[in-house]
């Protein structure tokens, strides 16, 4: 028995926000002080580090569960299954259905229940629930789906990663330029074919102050006192944490699969920061005393931004179905999914197409 992805889909928002759109923002540091440099310099430095040129935002009339539903429809169609046959719908997100005019988190009912309702699934044995696991949520959802299938509690699971981070950004925070919206979905099924999920690894770090590296906090503009909160990040600490820990978690995962490093075709890593992701992959290969191969790392952060939990399944869908930026996948290829994010959580999956 294997655990195979039989369907993949995504929802790519249509609103494009270029870096130049932030030229008139008033940026403050975490202490509430204005920066002593002009916004063009701030934006240019931001671009050189993150690689982001633009990001995609959801239309004002759409919420995260809408994005998740659109991606789900695409994945179900790709898998060519009846939605009524789904045993689980697992939706990973961070902030629920926040609307354009509110910063209030809305998770009642769960986004998974909303997606199930939108799909018009009548079967009460199709269980719908959410995961709050930071950016690694979709990867963890896949790990949970595999566990259900392995335990013979399910045969078909729909796993979705969706976020609308544009609704929770502080326009006075430089990091607001990082975040974006989107959704990706996959159908995981029990299969008699070889391959599928070969191994996985998950870690949560909280022993020191890691749990506070990414959080929900007040605006950096101290003159704003309306109780609203926004996504916040201790960028330097996240960067150092990821470089120190993610390569080892990825190695543990690949080693557990028994697949040699030379067989690894692609790595789909959370699209958080181009420079950070490249550094992580270089360190990962260094653990095997091997150079980072060319064309191993698909990236879409330049034009998509960081859509958190949606980045990995969205990028996978693009490469699988559109040969995105020259990246292709073939039957039998071994790939690695990996992510790091709020918690602080790290996880990875070794998967054979």
Give the lowest-confidence range in 103-107, 176-180, 315-319. 103-107
Spatial contact of 117 and 126, defined as CB atoms under 8 Å apart? no
Percentage of residues in the chain having pLDDT higher than 90: 91
Q: 247 near 24, Cβ under 8 Å?
A: no
Q: Is residue 279 over pLDDT 90? A: yes
In the prediction, which pLDDT does 102 show? 81
45: preceding bond cis by omega (within 30 degrees): no
Q: Is the pLDDT of residue 84 over 90?
A: yes
Which SS3 state, helix, strand or coil, does residue 349 take? Answer: strand
pLDDT at 233: 95
pLDDT band, residue 161 (cuts 50/70/90): very high
The CATH code of domain 197-352 reads 3.40.47.10
The pLDDT tens digits for 175-234 are 999 999 999 999 999 988 889 999 999 999 999 999 999 999 999 999 888 888 999 999
pLDDT reported for residue 282: 97
Dihedral over Cα of 180, 5, 78, 151: its sign: negative
Q: Domain coordinates of the chain in residue numbers?
A: 2-193, 197-352
Q: If you average pLDDT over residues 297-316, what whole number do you get?
A: 97
Q: 8 near 78, Cβ under 8 Å?
A: yes
The span from the CA of 245 to the CA of 289, in Å, is 17
pLDDT at 323: 79
| Sequence-ordered list of residues with C-beta below 8 angstroms from that of 24, at least 6 positions apart, any chain | 39
- Yes or no: say if 182 and 162 are a contact pair by the CB < 8 Å rule: yes
Distances (CA, A) of 142 to 149, 157, 220, 311, 329: 11, 9, 36, 14, 19
Domains 2-193 and 197-352 share a fold: yes
Give the N- to C-terminal CA distance of the chain in Å, as an integer.
Answer: 15
Give me Rg for the CA atoms of the chain: 20
- Residue 316 pLDDT: 97
Q: Where does the pLDDT of residue 46 fall: very low under 50, low under 70, confident under 90, or very high at 90 and above?
A: very high
pLDDT number for residue 225:
83
Q: Name the residue among 122, 12, 22 with its Cα closest to residue 74.
A: 12
CA neighbours closer than 13 Å in the CB half-sphere of residue 241? 26
Task: Look at residue 74 in the predicted model and tell me its pLDDT.
Answer: 98
Average of pLDDT values for 54-67? 96
Assign 3-state DSSP to the chain and report helix, strand, coil percentages, each to 5: 35, 25, 35
Residues 248-275 pLDDT 10s? 999 999 999 999 999 999 999 999 999 9
Helices marked H in the chain:
39-50, 64-79, 111-118, 137-150, 235-257, 274-286, 301-304, 311-322
Report phi then psi at 350, rounded to 5: -95, 130
Structure tokens at 187: 């159908």
Alpha-carbon distances, residue 342 vs 206, 207, 234, 268, 339 (angstroms): 10, 14, 11, 18, 10
Helix (H, G, I), strand (E, B) or coil at 100: coil
On the CB side of 317, how many CA atoms lie within 13 Å of its CA? 26
pLDDT tens digits, 173-190: 999 999 999 999 999 999
pLDDT the model gives residue 191: 87
**Residues 115, 47: Cα–Cα separation, whole Å:** 35
* Nearest alpha-carbon partner for 179 in 188, 169, 189: 169
How far apart are alpha carbons 145 and 232 in whole angstroms?
30
Model confidence at 146, pLDDT cuts 50, 70, 90, reads very high
The answer to whether residue 103 scores a pLDDT higher than 90 is no
Residue 69's pLDDT band, with cuts at 50, 70 and 90, is very high
**Quick one: which H or E segment has residue 91?**
strand 88-92
CA 326 to chain centre: 21
Fold held by 2-193: Peroxisomal Thiolase; Chain A, domain 1 (3.40.47)
Pairing of strands 15-18, 54-57: antiparallel
């Amino acid at each position: 028995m294997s655990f195979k992805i039989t369907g993949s889909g995504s929802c790519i928002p249509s609103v494009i926000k270029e870096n130049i759109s932030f030229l008139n923002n008033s940026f403050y540091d975490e202490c509430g002080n204005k920066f002593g440099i002009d916004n063009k310099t701030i934006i240019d430095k931001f671009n050189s580090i993150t690689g982001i040129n633009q990001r995609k935002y959801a239309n004002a009339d759409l919420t995260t569960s809408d994005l998740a539903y659109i991606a789900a429809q695409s994945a179900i169609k790709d898998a060519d299954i009846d939605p009524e046959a789904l045993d689980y719908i697992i939706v990973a997100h961070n902030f629920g259905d926040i609307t354009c005019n509110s910063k209030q988190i809305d998770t009642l009912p769960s986004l998974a229940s909303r997606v199930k309702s939108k799909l018009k699934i009548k079967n009460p044995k199709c269980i719908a629930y959410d995961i709050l696991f930071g950016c690694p949520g979709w990867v963890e959802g896949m790990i949970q789906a595999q566990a259900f299938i392995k335990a013979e509690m399910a045969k078909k699971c729909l796993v979705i990663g969706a976020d609308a981070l544009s609704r929770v950004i502080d326009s006075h925070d430089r990091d607001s330029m990082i975040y974006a919206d989107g959704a990706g979905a996959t159908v995981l099924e029990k299969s008699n074919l070889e391959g599928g999920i070969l191994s996985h690894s998950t870690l949560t770090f909280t022993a020191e102050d890691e749990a506070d590296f990414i959080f929900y906090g007040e605006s950096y503009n101290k003159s704003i006192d309306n109780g609203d909160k926004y996504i916040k990040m201790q960028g330097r600490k996240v960067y150092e944490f990821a470089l120190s820990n993610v390569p080892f978690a990825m190695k543990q995962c690949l080693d557990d699969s028994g697949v040699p490093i030379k067989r690894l075709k692609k790595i789909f890593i959370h699209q958080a920061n181009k420079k950070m992701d490249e550094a992580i992959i270089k360190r990962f290969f260094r653990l095997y005393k091997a150079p980072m191969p060319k064309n191993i790392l698909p990236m879409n952060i330049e034009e998509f931004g960081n859509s958190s939990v949606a980045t990995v399944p969205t990028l996978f869908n693009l490469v699988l179905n559109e040969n995105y930026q020259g990246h292709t996948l073939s039957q039998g290829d071994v790939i690695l999914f990996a992510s790091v994010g709020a918690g602080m959580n790290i996880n990875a999956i070794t998967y054979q197409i």
